[in-house]
Amino acid sequence: MGIVRCHSQAQRTKTLSELQAPKGLPELSKGYRSKYNRYKYRTLWDSQHGKHSPEHWNKNSKYPKPLSNKMAFALLMELRKSQEGKNHLQYLQPELTKILDRKNPFPANININNIDSASLDELPGIGPSIARRILRFREKLGGFYSALQLIEIPKIDTTLIEVMMTQIAIDKTKLVMLNEKVDFKQLYKHPYVGPGKAKILGPFLTQHPHLTMQVWESMKGISTEKKSKIAPYLLFQNTQ
């Protein structure tokens, strides 16, 4: 059976090779392209849609638009968040920073001590998660006395804060004073005090209801650096 099958296949191949086209049909030229040919349609597309080619966009200056500051900022934030983007930051961040230097994407005079969660969420680069962190830290502090304090927020993007804080306005009248009404629970939660220092600061503020700067500076048990950070949250009596 195998020999018969091979013989039949050979015969069919020979017959097909000997077939000739009927007389009278035009012969096709070598340059002929049928309407179904990919080359023809690719050429047609290039001729009709050449304006969409990269070369056309590069030659015509009216098409390329400079990257807006908001778009540059959003791109920078996304690159910093993504694992793959971090590999390209060393190349892209200098260029994006130049764009941001031309114009800050944040509106002027952001009142960080009065702004609510919804208004924070609308700012570029700030989502619900970052807005909650800022408000939670503000509540623990009793208000911000400096825009630099935003960098102390846990897990905050420093680039975001560096761009944002130049547009921040500080209203110090909203600060909650620690010695106006001594609350040990508030002292425990305060980022600059904590449970350890609250055991020292609480009794000290209770013993000195009319605190002066001289008494505060002479206090023992808390470093000078910590005292300078806590001082804006204290009411001092004028000695004059």
> Which SS3 state, helix, strand or coil, does residue 169 take?
strand
Diameter over CA atoms, the chain:
124
pLDDT at 57: 46
Query: pLDDT band at 42, cuts 50/70/90?
Result: low
pLDDT at 160: 84
Rounded CA Rg of the chain: 37
Instruction: Give the span between the Cα atoms of 163 and 156, in whole angstroms.
Output: 13
Please report, as a single letter, which amino acid is at residue 77: M
The two structure tokens encoding residue 94:
């200098």
pLDDT tens sequence across 69-104? 666 777 777 776 676 666 666 666 776 677 666 677
Q: Would you state the pLDDT for residue 63?
A: 45
What's the burial of 162, exposed, middle or buried (CB within 10 Å: 0-12/13-18/19+)?
middle
Q: Is the pLDDT of residue 61 over 70?
A: no
What average pLDDT does this structure show over 146-158? 89
C-alpha pair distances (Å), 235 with each of 13, 151, 177, 208, 232: 106, 25, 6, 11, 8
Helices (H), the chain: 2-18, 38-48, 54-59, 69-81, 89-102, 117-122, 128-141, 158-164, 184-189, 194-207, 213-217, 224-230
The region of weakest confidence among 62-71, 78-87, 148-157, 210-219 is: 62-71
Residue 167 reports pLDDT greater than 70: yes
Relative orientation angle of helices 89-102 and 69-81, to the nearest 10 degrees: 150
Question: Is 0.85 surpassed by the pTM of this model?
Answer: no
The domains of the chain, with CATH numbers, are 69-102 (no CATH), 110-174 (1.10.150), 184-233 (no CATH)
pLDDT digits (tens, 9 = 90+) for 101-125: 667 788 889 999 999 999 998 888 8
Cα–Cα distance list, 181 to 10, 34, 70, 121, 217 (Å): 107, 91, 44, 33, 20
> How much is the average pLDDT of 173-182?
91
**How far separated are the first and last CA of the chain, in Å rounded?**
123
Tokens of 212: 């002066």
